[in-house]
Amino acid sequence: MLELEQVSLQRAGKRLLWQVSLQAVPGELCVILGPNGAGKSTLLQVMSGYLRPDSGRVRLGGQDTVGLSAARLASLRAVVEQQTTVPSGWRVSELVAAGSYFAAPGQQAAAMAQALTLTDTSRLAQRRLDSLSGGEVQRAHLARALCQLLASTQPERYLLLDEATAALDFAIADSQMAQWRQLAQDLHIGVVAVVHDLNLALRHADRVLLLQDGCSIAFGRTADIMQQARLEAIYGIRLAELISPDAGIRAFVPHTTR
Amino acid sequence: MIRLSLLCQCLLVALLLTCLGSLLHGSGIVWAMLHGNQTLPALQLQLLLQLRLPRLLVAICSGMLLSSAGAAIQARFRNPLAEPGLLGIYSGAALAAALALSLGAGILPVSLAGFAGSLLTLWLIRLLASPNGNGSRLILSGVAISALLGSLLTLLITTLPDGALRSITFWLMGSFSNAEWPQAWLLLLATPLVWLGLFRQWRLLNALQLGEATAFHLGFDIRRGAWLVVCLASIAAGVVVSSCGMIGFVGLLAPHLTRLLTGSDARRLLLAAPLLGAWLTVSADWLARSLLAPAELPVGVITSLLGAPFFLWLLRREQESPRA
């Protein structure tokens, strides 16, 4: 289990996180939702061990992240960052290989091949990153992170995604999130994603954490958490809930008069 | 992209041929051999062994050191304009060397003072840089230190007598003409150590090109690893600058040129760049010695004179065809 216990964090006198708790389990997609500035990305950086909380605990598969080395952390979790940089001239295969730098030499090739297949990037492997579309670059970074997890021998592994759908059009974003959930189930890894789109979360998330001003408002099963009144309070606007009975789809849209 | 082994072989052959040319040019040996003289005059042999050979070795080693340090520093800071002297290492070395010269020291003490100056600068920067290994703050501290030491150097130079002024100017411009066996041995020792130290970090250098956060996520201890890279590159710059002065543009140009041929993968880059760098310095030294013979130009003038326009052309070319 990936476990946050009463995590608080301050920077420069500003309270960024306040007593946030969360449990993510392998096989599920857990989504962190909240308005801009709520502390979603900060929370993810605390989970990844990049930021150390002022108080509270972060455990990855039962191990407290504070004492773990960077290499040890890397065998437990992989991260797709919000702003992924593309070094000039790199090929997709070189990027994905970076995920397996710490793997045993025998496992590298297998992990790479599997990561490329899972993300449907095998045919892009020899392409240069700067010649790819935004969605393809995103998939390449996902493959890099997956490769890191596949090369690890740890029993419990987690994939952390920070606004990984931000630059994608809604159709690609939707298929990406469906894929994360599928990967979580197939590989039995825990996926935690920061997402901005309420409806993507509603459609794909197993669990949702609602965050506002660094505080956890609610955490639990998606259907229980994503209630209209609660979302209206967090985002400070009126919402309308749309339901398509035959497709079985719910969606929230802003309910404002123009 | 050319195959790496083929590229390295080509560079190696070019380097060897240039070395041979530089070594033998004007020495009368080829002439003697063509005329069937079996015995070499003792004077010629002396010239080769005591002057040409150490000088050649110094040129090779400094080219290798500067280009591998440049490649590593550019990767570490994700900045194509970074070079080994970025953190004020050159200024620190120059100031210390000028100080030693003004006190009337000989060539070897001046070199040692220069090296000590570069290490002191590195230590100063270590004190000022942020503890969490933030790269941009490190660069900015280096720039400030560089400016400070540079102005102190100018101040010192204005007070120097003519003789010392001439030698410090020559030293500042970079030259292999003072190279003797002690420097050659020092560089022969430093080059493999520094290169090996940097090459062992190729994974980290690749990861750092993805950003410091990503490198950490991939499992690298940024604080330790990145500092090690900076230290090794600065030591390389210090060793070179203290034994043959400032040789501009090689540390910047050689990694750039190599990247055109190998791509930016740090492992390929660190294998090929030293060969190209050594070829550049050896050719530049040959030119510096023979262009206005018997007078000699400072080799730093040649590298900058040819390097700067070439670099501009390179930038223009990259701008015009970003996908090339």
* Contact yes or no for B96/B120 (Cβ under 8 A): yes
- Angle CA(B158)–CA(B162)–CA(B178) in degrees, nearest 5? 105
Which amino acid, B308?
A
Measure CB to CB from residue A70 to each of B221, B265, B323 and give the nearest one: B221
Query: According to the model, what pLDDT value does residue B39 have?
Result: 67
β-bridge partners, A161: A80, A193
β-bridge partners, A31: A193, A208
Beta strand A215-221 with A207-212: parallel, antiparallel or unpaired? antiparallel
Q: Which residue has the higher pLDDT, A170 or B199?
A: B199
Rounded Cα gap, residues B3 and A257, in angstroms:
64
Q: Set out the domains of chain A in order of their start, with CATH numbers.
A: 2-226 (3.40.50.300), 229-258 (no CATH)
Query: According to the model, what pLDDT value does residue A7 have?
Result: 93
Q: Which residues contact B38 (CB under 8 A, 6 or more apart)?
A: none
* Contact yes or no for B91/B259 (Cβ under 8 A): no
Chain B contact present for A104, CB below 8 A: no
Query: Which residue of B lies nearest to A80 if distances are taken between CA atoms?
Result: B214
Q: Is residue B267 part of a domain?
A: yes
Q: Which of B4, B205, B217, B269 to mutate to test the interface with A (most CBs of A within 10 A)?
A: B217
Measure CB to CB from residue A88 to each of B218, B219, B264 and give the nearest one: B264
Q: Is the pLDDT of residue B203 over 50?
A: yes
Q: Which residues contact B204 (CB under 8 A, 6 or more apart)?
A: B215, B220, B225, B226, B229
Could you tell me the CATH number of the domain that includes residue B54? 1.10.3470.10
Q: Is the pLDDT of residue B321 over 90?
A: no
Query: Which residue of B lies nearest to A84 if distances are taken between CA atoms?
Result: B210
Tally of CB atoms within 10 A around B43: 9
Query: According to the model, what pLDDT value does residue B323 have?
Result: 43
pLDDT digits (tens, 9 = 90+) for B105-117: 777 788 888 889 9
* Contact yes or no for B168/B111 (Cβ under 8 A): no
- Tokens standing for B233? 């590159």
A71·B220 Cβ contact <8 A: yes
Q: What share of chain A is helix, strand, coil (3-state, %, to 5)?
A: 40, 30, 30
Q: Is the pLDDT of residue B80 over 90?
A: no
Burial class (CB in 10 A: 0-12, 13-18, 19+), A12: exposed
CA A193 to chain B, closest CA, distance in angstroms equals: 16
CA A83 to chain B, closest CA, distance in angstroms equals: 9
pLDDT digits (tens, 9 = 90+) for A88-112: 778 899 999 999 888 888 888 999 9
Burial class (CB in 10 A: 0-12, 13-18, 19+), B2: exposed
Query: According to the model, what pLDDT value does residue B131 have?
Result: 61
Query: According to the model, what pLDDT value does residue B104 have?
Result: 77
Determine the average pLDDT of the residues in A145-168: 91
Confidence of residue B132 (pLDDT cuts 50, 70, 90): low
Chain B contact present for A82, CB below 8 A: no
Q: Is the pLDDT of residue B232 over 50?
A: yes
Q: Which residue has the higher pLDDT, A157 or B321?
A: A157
Burial class (CB in 10 A: 0-12, 13-18, 19+), A42: buried
Nearest C-alpha neighbor of A95 from the set A139, A52, A56? A139
B259·A50 Cβ contact <8 A: no
ipTM of the complex: 0.92
pLDDT digits (tens, 9 = 90+) for B84-112: 777 788 888 888 988 888 887 777 788 88
pLDDT digits (tens, 9 = 90+) for A109-136: 999 999 999 998 999 999 998 888 888 8
Query: According to the model, what pLDDT value does residue B324 have?
Result: 36
Lowest mean pLDDT, pick from A158-162, B9-13, B162-166: B162-166
End-to-end Cα spacing for chain B: 11
Helices and strands (H, E) in chain A, number of each type? 9, 12
* Contact yes or no for B97/B71 (Cβ under 8 A): no
pLDDT digits (tens, 9 = 90+) for A233-245: 999 999 999 988 8
Residue B308 zone, left/alpha/beta (φ > 0; ψ -120 to 50; rest): alpha
Q: Beta strands of chain A (E only): which ranges?
A: 2-11, 14-24, 29-33, 55-60, 63-64, 77-80, 158-162, 190-194, 207-212, 215-221, 239-244, 249-254
Rounded Cα gap, residues B222 and A124, in angstroms:
30
Chain B contact present for A102, CB below 8 A: yes
Average pLDDT taken over every residue of chain A: 91
pLDDT digits (tens, 9 = 90+) for B9-38: 899 999 999 888 888 887 767 777 677 666
Q: Is the pLDDT of residue B208 over 70?
A: yes
Q: Is residue B221 part of a domain?
A: yes
Helices (H), B159-265: 162-173, 181-199, 202-208, 212-217, 222-244, 250-262
Q: Is residue B25 part of a domain?
A: no
Write the DSSP assignment of B109-162 as a string of letters: HHHHHHHHHHHHHHHHHHHHS-TT--HHHHHHHHHHHHHHHHHHHHHHHHTS-H
Parent domain of B160: 43-319
End-to-end Cα spacing for chain A: 46
Chain B contact present for A235, CB below 8 A: no
Strand, coil or helix: what is B300? helix
Identify the top-confidence range among A34-38, B81-85, B164-168: A34-38
Rounded Cα gap, residues B91 and B115, in angstroms:
11
Rounded Cα gap, residues B269 and B263, in angstroms:
7
Query: According to the model, what pLDDT value does residue B320 have?
Result: 62
Rounded Cα gap, residues B58 and B66, in angstroms:
12
Q: Which residue has the higher pLDDT, B226 or B2?
A: B226
Q: Is residue B218 part of a domain?
A: yes
Average pLDDT taken over every residue of chain B: 85
Query: Which residue of B lies nearest to A128 if distances are taken between CA atoms?
Result: B323
Query: According to the model, what pLDDT value does residue B322 have?
Result: 46
Q: Is residue B315 part of a domain?
A: yes
Q: Is residue B6 part of a domain?
A: no
Give the residue numbers in B contacting A (CB under 8 Å), as ranges: 78, 203, 206-207, 209-211, 213-214, 216-222, 259, 263-265, 322-323
Helices (H), B159-180: 162-173
Which residues from chain A sit within 8 angstroms of residue B219, using beta carbons? 70-71, 73-75, 101-102, 148
Rounded Cα gap, residues A204 and A202, in angstroms:
6
Q: Is the pLDDT of residue B81 over 90?
A: no
Query: According to the model, what pLDDT value does residue B265 have?
Result: 87
Structurally, how many domains does chain B consist of? 1
CA B197 to chain A, closest CA, distance in angstroms equals: 18
* Contact yes or no for B254/B36 (Cβ under 8 A): no
pLDDT digits (tens, 9 = 90+) for A15-33: 999 999 999 999 999 999 9
Query: According to the model, what pLDDT value does residue B130 have?
Result: 64
Q: Is residue B190 part of a domain?
A: yes
Rounded Cα gap, residues B244 and B173, in angstroms:
9
Query: According to the model, what pLDDT value does residue A257 have?
Result: 67
Q: Is residue B12 part of a domain?
A: no
Q: Which of A:182-221 have CB within 8 Å of B?
A: none
